Amino acid sequence: MEHKVRVLPPEELMEQLLDVMEQTGTVPLIISGSSMSPFLVHGRDTVYLSKITAHLKKGDMILYRRRNGAYILHRICRVEEDSFCLVGDAQILIEPGIRRDQVLAIVTAVRRKGKLLRKGSFWWDFFERVWLRVIPLRRPIVALYGFLMGRRKEENGND
């Protein structure tokens, strides 16, 4: 039996995905890209997108569409009167001016390293509360972590 594969342009894929979310309430999406690392890793982790049913707040992960048409998953770092400021967990540059009508969904759960996480779990809360507050220090923290993990591997003979 032959299977036909149909490759969809991102706009069409997202449109269908959002339609399913509207009908079912929640839809999974495998992470593509690295802007949400170290919390979410490209190709490994899945987010569960849901309809927005409450006010969005600092720390929420949202799917939005930029004015150029790109679909982005980032975290709210500041709520302003008529817009949001967003940042990826791997980034230090904040993107201001995202309007409410650009926001398409909120992340209500993630499957990270095979484990289902929700608000209240250690890693969810760490990235929502702690990591969001150390934006200027992210690069040196990640560099130090990488250095320490490299030394640990050397000490254990796992080169």
Separation between Cα atoms, residue 134 and residue 79, nearest integer Å? 17
Q: Is 3 among the domain residues? A: no
Determine the pLDDT at residue 63: 96
CATH number of the domain enclosing 17: 2.10.109.10
Name the residue among 104, 38, 13, 16 with its Cα closest to residue 66.
104
Determine the pLDDT at residue 143: 85
Determine the pLDDT at residue 153: 65
Name the residue among 88, 97, 71 with its Cα closest to residue 18.
71
Residues spanned by the domain of 27: 10-156
Residue type, 122: F
Which 8-state DSSP code applies to residue 9?
P
Q: Is 2 among the domain residues? A: no
Determine the pLDDT at residue 58: 97
Total domains in the fold of the chain: 1
Determine the pLDDT at residue 27: 93
Separation between Cα atoms, residue 121 and residue 123, nearest integer Å? 6
Q: Is 137 among the domain residues? A: yes
Q: Is 42 among the domain residues? A: yes
Determine the pLDDT at residue 158: 58
Whole-model pTM: value is 0.84
Angular region, 25: left φ>0, alpha ψ -120 to 50, beta rest: left
Q: Is 102 among the domain residues? A: yes
> What residue spans of 25-103 are helical by DSSP H?
none
CB atoms near residue 4 (< 10 Å)? 4
Predicted confidence pLDDT, tens digits, the chain (159 residues):
676 777 778 788 888 889 999 999 999 999 999 999 989 999 999 999 999 999 999 999 999 999 999 999 999 999 999 999 999 999 999 999 999 999 999 999 999 999 999 999 999 999 999 999 999 999 898 888 778 877 766 677 655
Q: Is 17 among the domain residues? A: yes
